[in-house]
Structure 1
């Protein structure tokens, strides 16, 4: 008996675990022992004590001899349930936040479009005299975008929506810059690859100029400072057209057999619509400014609305090029960090 107790002390730390393993292996039929130990049903017990997460579950020995259960790190890992919070703590690659790129682009599109429609409807109903006033004082039925977004209180809503619209615009510009850079590196022809890289850089900087010009046109209205507003509007028009052309051109470049981007055809169509509308805008502006012809400013405003809608649609083609992509926020892993 003394030798048995001595072996128990040497083999395992807790002798009670040893005797519990012996009782389970012999399948004792004493009801008092079952209620006391709370053996599970598969071992013949009536009821099992609930186990908390992380508790160790003992298994009966497979052989018939009376030996202490082998408690090793492998058995502990096998029989231990991880707490969900621990799983989340050790998973360093789980994204903290994610959102569909399509949803971001749709919201970014509707911010200026919805506010523009609201300004047009409310200004046409309640402030007709203010929005139709021109220096020639001729008949006019369609107000310009600067007129409906430069009066109060419409200008506050327009400025807020444009401010919220600028963030995704910077994000989309960086996205296309990275994508076109990777696509250009795969072009085998050296001359075409060099041209594609130059167009990629031009798209990136033209997008920045366009966004900055849009900000200036929005926050410097024609009523506050018309000369500055007019010059910034010209910069916006030129950068927008050049940006469309560069995007359409670089999107169609590639190796023999490579397909262009899905939205590239739409970009070309929007580019030609914008060019035609810009020509009409210049012609009708000169007719209004120099000749003061009736309805000239209305045609000018119509061309301006077409250009604005084409520009919004141009930036919304990202949903055609990247329909199933997501924006994720995940922990940053260094390249030299050891992976588990």
Structure 2
């Protein structure tokens, strides 16, 4: 292999250069396709196991936890979430840097951006935890991961909407205004179906009515899908940006 001097033009070219929009699409499509595959396989091959609950009444849709805890569904889901987790951390860091630049002289918004970053980390870690520890293996750990994911997700969206309300207030960019409106609508949509999912879950456990758990599962799907759509708004926020891996200039090496 030919070695190139450090100061040459070829050496200083980026090793990897990916448009941020492409990264955002790939990051969201991995869990989306994984979820669809898991639910379809659970219905086709494990219908009874995936829809069974302690009530023993007929149900027609598996919950997300049930769909990703069977085999081979669990391995498909783990593969997709494992690949998508690293870009999620990168995107969280990109947003944190973006907020710091926008609110460099405003302490309250700076502190809120730190909280938003920590909530994004919490959401992603919770997702990894509930993914790699299934409900059939260690239910208490899976439940903790689920609570961590849902709590981090809802409060992350809330803090993000607050930050973007400040950005939209002083912005003349149509993309930023569109991004803020989408974020706000998706947050409200997500919260509504979180409450509906909780209602159907409690009702199922209390009355054991046929089909009610399927309503819970349907609401759960919409919660997850709206969460993915919320993160997809990064497509608008970083439309002109690129992710690059490059050799640092000679004077900046340590």
- Identify whether the pair has TM-score above 0.5, normalized to the shorter chain: yes
Partner of 1:332: helix, strand, or coil? Answer: coil
| Partner SS state of residue 57, structure 2 | coil
Quote the Cα distance in structure 2 between the aligned partners of 1:257 and 1:109. Answer: 29
In structure 2, relative to structure 1, the CA distance for the partners of 1:199 and 1:86 (3 Å cut) is closer
Paired residues, number: 247
Hey, what does 1:31 align to over in structure 2?
Answer: none
- Contact conserved, 1:203 with 1:243, CA < 8 A, in 2? yes
Contact 2:7 / 2:250 at 8 angstroms: preserved in 1?
Answer: no
Using the alignment, how far apart are the partners of 1:168 and 1:276 within structure 2? Answer: 28
State the match for 2:19 in structure 1: 100
CA contact (8 A) 2:42 2:62 kept: no
* Partner residue in 2 for 1:81: none
For 2:66, the equivalent position in structure 1 comes to 147
Structure-to-structure mapping, 1:71-110, within 5 angstroms: 89-90=8-9, 93-110=12-29
Alignment of 1:108-187 (within 5 A): 108-185=27-104
User: Following the alignment from structure 1 to structure 2, what is the Cα–Cα distance between the partners of residues 328 and 132?
Assistant: 45
Structure 1 portions without partners, runs of 5+ = 1-84, 187-192
Residue 194 of structure 1 corresponds to 107
TM-score, with length taken from structure 2: 0.90
- Is the aligned partner of 1:278 residue 2:194? yes
Q: 1:135 to 1:182 in 2, by over 3 A?
A: same
Alpha-carbon deviation of 1:227? 2.6
User: 2:223 aligns to what SS in structure 1?
Assistant: helix
After TM superposition, give the deviation of residue 252 of structure 1 in Å: 1.9
1:200–1:87 Cα change, 3 Å: closer
1:229 matched to 2:146: no
For the structure 1 residues 175 and 131, does the alpha-carbon distance in structure 2 shift closer, same or farther, using more than 3 Å as the test? same
Distance 1:234 1:336, change over 3 A: closer
Alignment of 1:268-307 (within 5 A): 268-307=184-223
In angstroms, what is the RMSD of aligned CA positions?
2.2
Query: 1:287 Cα deviation (Å)?
Result: 0.6
Q: CA deviation at 1:86?
A: 7.9
Q: 1:336 to 1:301 in 2, by over 3 A?
A: closer
Q: Which has the higher contact order (CA 8 A, sep 6+)?
A: 2
Contact 1:203 1:246 in 2 (8 A): yes
Report SS of the residue matched to 2:184.
helix
1:241–1:275 contact (8 Å) kept in structure 2: yes
Which of 181, 184, 187 does residue 265 from structure 1 map onto?
181
Task: Tell me if the contact between 1:184 and 1:254 (Cα under 8 Å) persists in the aligned partners.
Answer: no
Over 3 Å counting, the alpha-carbon distance change for 1:255 and 1:235 in structure 2 is: closer
Q: Check 1:225–1:100 CA distance in 2 against 1; reply closer, same or farther (3 A cut).
A: same
CA-CA distance at 1:257 after TM superposition: 3.7
Structure 2 CA distance, aligned partners of 1:334 and 1:307? 48
Instruction: State the Cα deviation string for residues 167-194 of structure 1 (Å, max 9, x = none).
Output: 10000000000000010015xxxxxx22
Kindly indicate which of the two structures has a greater share of residues assigned to helix.
2
Q: Distance in 2 between matches of 1:288 and 1:151?
A: 22
SS in 2 for 1:94: coil
Distance 2:139 2:10 in 1: 57
Q: What secondary structure sits across from 1:263 in the alignment?
A: helix
